[in-house]
Amino acid sequence: MVDVVGKFGSFVKGNSHPIEMVLMALILINWAPTEVLGRDLDQKLNSVLGPILKPVKSMMAWPAVRLFLWLILLYSCCIANNKNMFFLLSIYFLTSR
C-alpha cells in the first residue's frame, strides 16, 4: 500500500521554504498600503502588477489549490508541528476571503 501521508509529508518538508516564500509574498502584496503612494503612483503600480497578480490570485482561488494548501495547513499543525507554516497558511486563508 502506498504511504500517502509519508510521501506528502516528505514533499512538504522538502519544499517548505519555497511554499513559505510564496505565501509571504502573496500576503505582503495583499496587505501593501499602496494608497499612501498617492493616486497616480498607486494607479501606475496597479497597472504594472495587475497583469501579474490577477492570474496568480485566480489560480490561488481554485478549489484544488485551496485543498492542497488546507492539507498543508493540517499537516503542519497536527503532524509536523511546523508553527511557521501553520501561521502563514492561517494568515493566508484569513486574508484571502
Residue 11 resides in a domain: no
The CA-atom distances, in angstroms, between 47 and each of 12, 29, 89, 93 are 34, 14, 28, 26
Could you report the per-residue pLDDT of 69-91, keeping only the tens digit for each? 889 888 888 888 888 888 888 88
Residue 76 resides in a domain: yes
Residue 42 resides in a domain: yes
Residue 4 resides in a domain: no
Residue 83 resides in a domain: yes
Residue 2 resides in a domain: no
Round the CA-based radius of gyration of the chain to a whole number and report it.
16
Overall number of domains in the chain = 1
| Boundaries of domain holding 38 | 17-27+34-95
Residue 54 resides in a domain: yes
Res. 8: pLDDT tops 70: yes
pLDDT of residue 42: 75
pTM over 0.75, yes/no: no
Q: What burial class does residue 76 get, using C-beta atoms within 10 Å of its C-beta: 0-12 exposed, 13-18 middle, 19+ buried?
A: buried
Residue 10 resides in a domain: no
